[in-house]
Structure 1
């Protein structure tokens, strides 16, 4: 989430969100990834289609966000198996996130 917030390309998606709201979004992302990869977390957020509706996320936005995710996984030295698992999970959400 930190990489997205520091990238001007994504600022339009967070305009109007308070710092508390951004923290809540970050926690939802962590819980969702944790639950999807077999961790003990429970994701209580909305489905991806509802969460991203009206944001106008493009294929280019998706690609840029995916690069940030890969860079974060690499930074924290995620093992290749887990990295592939996370990327497969995120890719499964793509159809519900991209609108344009």
Structure 2
């Protein structure tokens, strides 16, 4: 008599593959965010050179937001959280 798959295990199986898709998308986004953060860092340094060490507040805020996003993304990637980062949830 063959064993029947329970609905729960099939859902779990689909769920783990969907999580993999999310993890791949997030990994690509994290790579892009890292590159953008490098560009912002250089831009902020140049601005500070010409403005007597005065940082650009908008660049600083973008960097802070990116840092929060990257932390949430990293927590999801290593399964420390089930909360997916933006674009699946609000960007705080």
How high is the TM-score relative to the length of structure 1?
0.28
Q: Which has the larger radius of gyration?
A: 2
TM-score w.r.t. structure 2 length? 0.30
User: Which has the higher relative contact order, 1 or 2, with Cα contacts under 8 A spaced 6 or more apart?
Assistant: 1
